[in-house]
Every structure is written in structure tokens, then in C-alpha cells.
Amino acid sequence: MRITEYRDLMAEYENPIEHTCDMRLGQSFVVENGEKPSGMCDSAWETLRPFVEELTAGGGNFFDGWMKNPHSAMLSCNDGFRPVSFYVEVVE
């Protein structure tokens, strides 16, 4: 859904990194058998996995009605310098 970079925070606090994130705007992933989709960042998957598992089990309605679609969630990876936001939903 969105990729953000906080260059001011990176300049102040982060050591230089040659390679960070391979995510690209517009990518789409499908989870099969609870496995991390190919090409998804490990860190992002660790954030998304509990929500994906809950949705796969038929759950949802996270945080008492947070999302308009109760079978979805808007989540971000835990990289505070360059967070990537994902819309996660159940597809039939």
C-alpha cells in the first residue's frame, strides 16, 4: 500500500546500510499453507503472520471494529526508518 522513508531519522540514528528493503509499491502476495510468501521480507512477515493466521482461521474484527472490512487489517513492518504498509485481507 505504501513505502515510506524517514531520511532525517536515518541520517541521525542509522549506520549506513548498503542493502535494506526489496519491497516495491504494488507488490501482491498470497499466503498458502501458512508459509511466508516468496519475496516477502522476513521482518514484515513476522509482523503480519499473527494477523494472517487469525484471518485464515476465520477470525478478524481486530481491535473491536478497527477496519471497515472485519476480515482485513492494515499493518506495517517494524522498520522504523522505512516502514512498508500492507493491506491484508481474506480472498476467496
Can you give the pLDDT of all 92 residues of the chain as single tens digits?
A: 899 999 999 999 999 888 888 888 999 999 998 899 998 989 899 999 999 999 999 999 999 989 999 999 999 999 999 999 999 999 87
Nearest by Cα to 45 from 23, 62, 25: 23
Predicted model pTM: 0.85
Place of cell 548498503: 18
* Domains in the chain, number: 1
* Domain assignment of residue 80, given as a range: 2-89
Contact partners, residue 10, CB within 8 Å, separation at least 6: 81, 82
Cell of 87: 493491506
Contact at 8 Å (CB) between 72 and 88?
A: yes
Nearest by Cα to 44 from 22, 26, 61: 22
